[in-house]
Structure 1
Amino acid sequence: MSPAARSSRARARLTLKEPPAKVGAKPGGTITQLNLQFNPSTLELRKTTEWRRTPSRMAAESALPEFVGSGPRELSLEVFLDATATHDNSVEKAVEKLMKACVPTPKSLSRKKPASPWVRFQWGTSRTTSFDGVMSSLSVSYTLFDVDGRPLRATCSLSIEEASVGPAGQNPTSGARTARSTHTLVAGDSLALLAWQEYGDATAWRAIADANGIDDPMALVPGTELVVPALRDAGDEEEW
């Protein structure tokens, strides 16, 4: 591969943003950004669902499961840091940036609502692995040192858990009838399909269109993040 092709390759980065001032709000301004030296070789994405079964003595095999809700996405990756070519303190500076994601920000402390920064991993056009979250775990292994003890190489293992965007007092994963949630459009999505998945009623797509200011439901752009309102927030269900 030529140097020009290598330099044009999309580089992964981690962005730390000020946490929202209140539940349901968007994150604030950028605190710091870490451009990764090396793109990850592996990304592990996890998401859980919760089901409830009511035992029945009359069931031939087992009772039908009832969907309760879905958990947040969790992204795990390793960040490799290396300063053997420069022998500077860039490794420790990068680790310090990652450590900032694990402690409350000064602004949140001043509001007396301690909260750590929101973190977003971005890599080119990737959508499923790019979301606002909080650092749920971080471990750093220093594997090479300079003659004065300065770390020259490190591997950082971290996990980012998707952050809630629902309003206060509600669980955004408990269903769109009782809470707000968000949905990132992918190719093939339609408002009717989304309404069916969220409400069990494809004709309720107008609620999503109104909440996002969509005039043409056929002109949906993949990658757009839509707010999915609770039906009671959007209006009376009988109007649809």
Structure 2
Amino acid sequence: MTSGAGLARAQLTIMEPPAKVGAKPGAQIARVPFQFNPNTLALTKSTEWRRKPSRMASQSALPEFVGSGPRSLSLEVFLDATATHDNSVERKVEQLMLACVPTPRSLANKKPASPWIRFEWGTSKTTSFDGVLSSFSVNYSLFDVDGKPLRATCSLAIEEASADAPGQNPTSGSRVARRTHRVVAGDSLPQLAWREYGDATAWRLIAEANGIDDPLVLVPGAELLVPSADEDGAW
């Protein structure tokens, strides 16, 4: 584990689940900064193939591509209350476990769903994606005289849950294509519209696709959906 003032700090963003299938995650519930950066990250992605048995003993049938599986990120979070003013690591463990239970808002809407989460660490992109916590475990390794846990290692597995917007799949036959853009400091919708469409006044197309009211105020790190210029015949 590494830590230091000059280092990029890893963190976990916990968000409300999407309001409907295929939508983006909702409002941010909590942002949990890591006390120590992970030593290792394990990223996996799978593909599924289908192969029909061949009657020819010396040959095998050609595989048929079925689909691409989600990314899955596994990591460990080390917690140490002996290096802080906290009396226990339990509060941090409870923060992480928020991602395992339905959110109060989803329960109030009678659509129970656990939060979506995103692991973020500096400029890393392959390990930063919207997903759900598929498994969580904690191993306590040091205790105070009264039994309070002082050190813990939490193991998390995050499974990708983001989905292509309708019509984004190039094999679906749709003529409308979409892509995403991650906001950096200084970005504005007119600037993005100029880069994408050659027309700064086309920012409304991006604003409507992302539910944005102020085109000049964007949150760095946010991911915007950028529709095709000819979507809905708008441009």
Pair in the same fold by TM > 0.5: yes
Q: CA deviation at 1:61?
A: 2.0
- 1:114 and 2:109 matched: no
Cα distance in structure 1, aligned partners of 2:132 and 2:18:
12
Aligned match of 2:172 in 172, 177, 180? 177
Question: In structure 1, how many angstroms separate the alpha carbons of the residues matched to 2:48 and 2:119?
Answer: 26
In the TM superposition, 1:20-169 aligns within 5 A as 20-58=18-56, 60-86=58-84, 88-89=86-87, 91-166=89-164
TM-score normalised by length of structure 2: 0.71
Q: Which amino acid aligns with 2:119?
A: F
Residue by residue over 1:80-111, the C-alpha shift from the partner in whole angstroms, topping out at 9 and shown as x without a partner, is 00011336245111101111100000111111
- Which runs of at least 4 in structure 1 moved beyond 4 Å after TM superposition? 178-185, 223-229
TM-score, length basis structure 1: 0.69
Q: Which structure 1 segments of 5+ residues have no match?
A: 186-212, 217-222, 236-240
For the residues of structure 2 that align with 1:226 and 1:129, how far apart are their CA atoms? Answer: 19
Residues 166 and 181, structure 1, Cα contact 8 Å, conserved in 2: no
Q: Which is further off, 145-154 or 5-14?
A: 5-14
- Identity fraction in percent: 65
Question: Which residue number corresponds to residue 214 of structure 1?
Answer: 196
Partner residue, 2:10:
12
Cα pair 1:23 1:166 within 8 Å, conserved:
no
Distance 1:175 1:142, change over 3 A: farther
Q: Is the 1:165–1:182 contact (alpha carbons within 8 Å) kept by the matching residues of 2? A: no
Q: 1:167 to 1:214 in 2, by over 3 A?
A: closer
User: Between Structure 1 and Structure 2, how many residues are aligned?
Assistant: 192
Change (3 A) 1:128 1:163: same
- Which consecutive residues of structure 2, in runs of 5 or more, have no partner in the other structure? 182-194, 199-221
